[in-house]
Amino acid sequence: FKGYFTDGIHIITSPARWNASDWLTATIVTGVAAGLYENDVKIMKWVQDHRTTTMDAIGNNVTDLGHGKYTPVLLGGMYLYGHIADDGKSRKTALLSVESFVLTGVFVQTIKYAARRHRPDTGDPYNTFDGPGLESKTSNASFPSGHASSAFAVATVIASEYDNAVVPPLAYGIAAISALNRVMHNAHWPSDTVVGAAIGYFIGKAIVASHRGGDRLSLGPMMEERATGVVLTYTF
């Protein structure tokens, strides 16, 4: 649990260590979010016009899996399996997913209190913000989407740890449907879900990177029956 604090500080201070590629990525994400913000009303109307009962049913079930009552069951089951089967990777993935979920929640809630944007189901204009404050209600907790951020926070860790042809598309697909479902239910503006998804994704990636095995260059002792020396190891 000490890692929660150190990883949180590392994420907060990360812009000081960004390179040109990182700043380019941040600029692109910001630009996309700004473009969506200016078109939130049009996109929302299009989604509502194309909403169907089938899409609602699929979205509701997937959202429960991506974020909600099934998330603790999913991660708890993954950790329990890793414990019973002595699968260290499964245990590690479950623990990192929980950390990503928690830290993402902290960041998202902080932004919610700073923005206090009104949800679309209030009937207020898309650009209605109450600004920073200690009192937050459901009606003005639209930005960013907690469902989208949490779903992508967990999906990113799982997809990163099990990087194959099946797991990443499945994990990100569930997270994307969870985010879209919030727009279909008129609970979030499109820009809310995209920003939330980006926060969950980048925090998940940061958590995984911070816990990946040691330094690339290492030096260690070697002792065998007929020889004693050192081993120099470089991980590509």
Of the pLDDT bands very low, low, confident and very high (cuts 50, 70, 90), residue 99 is very high
CA distance 188 to 105: 17
Which amino acid makes up residue 170? L
Q: Are 66 and 178 in contact (CB under 8 A)?
A: yes
Burial 175-196 (b: 16+ CB within 10 A, else e): bbbbbbbbbbbebbbbbbbbbb
* pTM of the model as a whole: 0.85
- Decide: 145 and 188 in contact? Cβ < 8 Å: yes
Strands 228-234 and 217-223: antiparallel
- pLDDT of residue 78 exceeding 60, the answer is yes
Mean pLDDT estimate for the chain = 86
- Residue of 207, 201, 199, 154 whose CA lies nearest to 5: 207
Contact 108, 149 (CB under 8 A): yes
The 10s digit of each residue's pLDDT in 117-171 is 999 999 999 999 999 988 878 899 999 999 999 999 999 999 999 999 999 999 9
Give pLDDT tens digits for 183-210: 999 999 999 999 999 999 999 999 998 8
pLDDT digits 0-9 by tens, 54-70: 888 888 878 776 666 67
Q: Report residue 103's pLDDT band, with 50, 70 and 90 as the boundaries.
A: very high
Angle between helices 53-66 and 146-161 (to 10 degrees): 60
- Largest distance between two CA atoms of the chain: 80
Say what percent of the chain tops pLDDT 70. Answer: 87
Residue 228: CA atoms inside 13 Å, Cβ hemisphere, count?
0
pLDDT band at 236 (very low <50, low <70, confident <90, very high): very low
> Cβ(104)–Cβ(156) under 8 Å?
no
